[in-house]
Amino acid sequence: MKKLTTSVLAVVLTSSFALVNAQVDTTRTQDIEGVVVTALGIKREKKSIGYAAQEISGESISEAGQNNALSALSGNVAGVQVTSPSSMGGSTRITMRGISSLTGENRPLIIVDGIPLDNTNINDVNTQRGAGGRDYGDPAFDINPDDIESVTVLKGGPAAALYGSRASNGVIIYTTKQAKRGRTSVELNTGISFESIYIMPDLQDSYGGGLADTFETVTINGRTYNIADYGMDESWGPKYDPNLMYLPWNAFDPEFASDYLKEIPWVAPKHDVDSFFDTGITLTNNISVSKSFDNSNMRVSYTNTDISGILPNSSIKKHNFTINANSQLSDKLKVETVMNFVQTHGFNRPEQGYGDNSVAQKFFQWGQRQLDFSKLKDYKLANGQQRSWNRTAWNDPTPLYSDNPYWTVYENIAQDKRNRFFGNVGLTYDLTDNLYVVGKVYADIYSQDNESRVAVGSQSVPDFTVFNRNFSEFNYEGRLHWNPRISDDFTLNTFAGVNRRETKYKDLTGTTVGGLIIPNFYNLNNSVETAEADNFEYWKRVNSMFASASLGFRDTFFLEATARNDWFSTVSEDQFYPSVTGSLVFSNLINAPWLSFGKLRAGWANVASDTGPYQLSNYVDQASNFGGDPRYTLQTRFNNPNLRPELKDTKEIGLEMNFFKNRFGFDVTYYHVDITDGILPLAVDPSTGYASLMINAGQMTNKGIEAMAFLTPVKTTDFSWDMNWNFAKNENMVVKLHEDAKTLQLTNAPFRARLLAIEGQPYGQIYGTDFTYDANGNKIVSNSGNGYVPSAITNLGSTLPDYNMGLRNSFRYKNARLSFLFDMQKGGKYFSTSHMWGMYSGMIEESTLNGNREAGIVLPGVKADGTQNTTVISAQRYGAMHYNTVDALNVFDADYIKLRDITLSYDLPKSLVGNAVDGIRISAFGRNLLAWNLDWKGMDPENTSYGSGNIQGLEGGSLPSTRQYGVNVNIKF
């Protein structure tokens, strides 16, 4: 029965106890009184910790078919906001308790078996702001979900202080599976999942391409034909009429005899945009072997993941190989090691945003709606020349603005490969019964090679670019532990240690200039002009000392204090930061049958955070040579030799209570975080020779509440029903920037809106033009009635949500389990470039004015003198005003309610599988199956992110969101 209680259907929970599907009264009691992995991999009793920590079972991740260990946390952990990837293998944005740094890192530290994993996102600023580029995802994608035993989330400063500066935003600790002592086992896990497009802009199917409601005519071979305005990538053309015949774009190539000079009716296409996308398929196969010897244990695992994306000719192939071993070499000496090798090969990851090779831009922002995609598949001639619908003229096939989308995905391709090793080796030596020493080395090493191609014959300049990146980090750590037995009433656990972190990075970029000489030959030497190259490298070091002491009294009162000092190579000062936490298990003092468990906890911590290298001195950049002569330039930023670490002061208090033999319970946390000495670039007078000065000035606060609750309404021998709910609300405020600067621009959208940090407002404000209103709240229309009167640049809302909430229901009936999770977000804003240009170009349904463009529209509002507007404007004028007048027309609420996942599993009975097999579990799952409460039905708010950094909420051209569904089989021997 123990195996049954750890089902995926009950384990993906939303409380801080990793609540397991309770079948007997003792199950939750064991969870409460059990252990949890805390900072530095040290296991602690859950009841003794004085801070918020939440644990999730690894089964909940692997059994539900998850191939991204970060995305799996969405909706399951209170206080953790997860924005899932918007494309195949794309970036996962994750934050805890809001935004803490104005310009620095806001993501949590990721630890796997004690190894700090680099999760640097390589997407450039243009990609992240929606201006075009491929989302290459995060290195955390290398974590193998099939190897995860448990996940512990340490949310605040008190929980993460021992990890130092990188843990200022919290820590996610992944603990992988190990061999069980005294057992030998083999486990097979295989699954297949399918992915189909779901949410995308609603494209209109009433009008075709062009700018006029009549056709052009041409005479060919003595006959007059109607032709569309092929060179225009908008859809303000004639209304569809099956009696209206014309020559389509593909009627001018004699080698396609069945289409040559063949007229077709002016109607909506039979094969529209949705037919372009494939059904994505993911195949996952894992085998692991665990062997226990007399004094040693070893587990070996291999996983193959094969992903075919929804975009044709796109894929990711990943191989994970893991060894986890430990051995008791003598009575006093133990050795343990974990080694992981991962190879990830991405082929043709889709370009996102407003870019030349972004099919989303061509489908939803610019184009002609009469195009039949079955004809677009014939995208080139026998001589290799492109066949684009966007011809310069009927007799000139040169692409004017847009490539054929099939040319884009089969000719303008990109590929990337990452080879990664991460692991650790450690020794533990017992000096006495309660005194021991630990020495460990942690390593994370990877190389990544990217290349992208733009073929000769494309609309944009042919190009070949390569990017090579190498990263390594080593942590050398030693700890001395002393756990004396003071008395039966008192317990004491102490340790002190040192750590040295060495981080090295280098990259090399090469790109052709002016195009390619020979088609289909992708080499830097094939550049029309001399190819350019650029390289960069850094070396960073942090030396640390730390200590911890935890005192317990009668398993009821607990007090813990930690201290750490970091010496950084990137800032001018070292930093000491302590923490103090305490907890009172008051249920031990109250003899009440209705109270199963009660704990009051409180904590305080001070944590520092440094910055990137080379910001303490000014350096000279070497630009590309000119005429054979070297060129040198000053950096635009004036660095600061007195730059200090950012400081983060956290206070939190929490209450945990369980009732009625653990049938009901809750966990509530309130926190308040003050961030000072924020590092930011202060704009200065350009006459100084610099654009900005690096300073310590920013102040920010986060305060909020996290709440979790569970309820078991029904529980019998054969049937149980568990409900688990979580809620998180964070209030962020930029308290101060600088007396000379009240605004910090983070970035801007490709054309109109900007993303700012504003003193006195929450972080991540979208700024642009709004409507102008009169005293009665009416929108003011220009005197001509042709458009709204725009306001000055103003605040259109923050990208940060008001709150997030999740609700999971789990049912068990004998060997069958059903679980489903609803995930909700309220608040936040995003700016949509797809809506802006989709309206401007007449592509989306809203531009048809309910299918009657000919009637025009009267803008609701009043004129400056207060009279009601009665002027009728054209549909095309109404569409155009979405670009050049009021930006608020393209800003939407980021609210959503999603059926995040649903899982149905069944354990085959022993009588059916026989004695040769320990167990077989069959699971069916679905993810992101339904979404409600969307402000704009054509965009998933989670699809407005193209990176995991601070730039969020600027949608530049997103692919459709997707649904996933599949089956998984787990066999244990």
620, with CB counted inside 10 A (0-12, 13-18, 19+), is: exposed
**Which residues, in sequence order, are CB contacts of 870 under 8 Å at separation 6+?**
785, 858
Report helix angle 833-840 to 875-884, nearest 10.
150
Q: CA dihedral defined by 83, 88, 90, 96, rounded to 10 degrees? A: 20
A 10 A CB-CB count for 314 gives 22
Q: Are 690 and 699 in contact, with CB atoms under 8 Å apart?
A: no
Query: Can you point out the beta strands (E) in 155-228?
Result: 171-176, 185-197, 216-220, 223-227
Of 447, 532, 549, give the one whose Cα is nearest residue 490.
549
Give the burial string for 749-775 (b: 16+ CB within 10 Å, else e).
Answer: bbbbbbbbbbbebbbbbbbbbbbbeee
CA distance 965 to 386: 37
CA distance 888 to 885: 9
The values of phi and psi at residue 947, to 5°, are -175, 170
Which pLDDT value is given to residue 17?
28
pTM higher than 0.85 for the full model? yes
CA distance 897 to 893: 12
DSSP 942: G
SS3 at position 59: helix
Q: Residue holding tokens 């020559």?
A: 247
CA distance 969 to 906: 10
CA distance 846 to 850: 7
Which pLDDT value is given to residue 33?
52
Handedness of CA 809, 33, 143, 943 (dihedral sign): positive
SS3 at position 12: coil
Of 187, 197, 228, give the one whose Cα is nearest residue 211.
228
Which pLDDT value is given to residue 182?
74
Q: Are 793 and 770 in contact, with CB atoms under 8 Å apart?
A: no
DSSP 777: S
Farthest-apart Cα atoms in the chain, separation:
108
CA triplet 958, 960, 966: central angle to 5 degrees? 135
SS3 at position 812: strand
Average pLDDT per run of 10 along the chain, which is 973 residues long? Answer: 32 29 37 68 81 81 76 84 83 88 88 91 87 88 90 81 84 89 87 95 96 93 94 94 96 95 96 96 94 90 96 96 93 94 96 94 96 96 95 94 96 96 95 94 96 96 96 96 91 94 95 96 96 93 94 93 92 90 93 92 91 89 80 88 92 94 94 92 86 90 94 94 94 92 90 92 95 94 93 95 94 94 95 97 96 95 93 96 94 96 92 85 94 96 88 93 94 90
Q: Which two tokens stand for residue 904?
A: 């149905």
SS3 at position 569: coil
Q: Are 968 and 63 in contact, with CB atoms under 8 Å apart?
A: yes
Q: Are 957 and 354 in contact, with CB atoms under 8 Å apart?
A: yes
Q: Could you tell me the domains of the chain?
A: 2-198+282-350+413-613+625-749+801-828+897-972 (2.40.170.20), 765-798+830-893 (no CATH)
Give the burial string for 40-53 (b: 16+ CB within 10 Å, else e).
Answer: bbbebbbbbbbbbb
Q: Which two tokens stand for residue 30?
A: 């064991």
CA distance 276 to 309: 12
Q: Are 135 and 90 in contact, with CB atoms under 8 Å apart?
A: yes
Handedness of CA 385, 391, 392, 394 (dihedral sign): positive
CA distance 104 to 115: 22
The values of phi and psi at residue 786, to 5°, are -85, -5
A 10 A CB-CB count for 327 gives 16
Which pLDDT value is given to residue 879?
96
Which pLDDT value is given to residue 64?
67
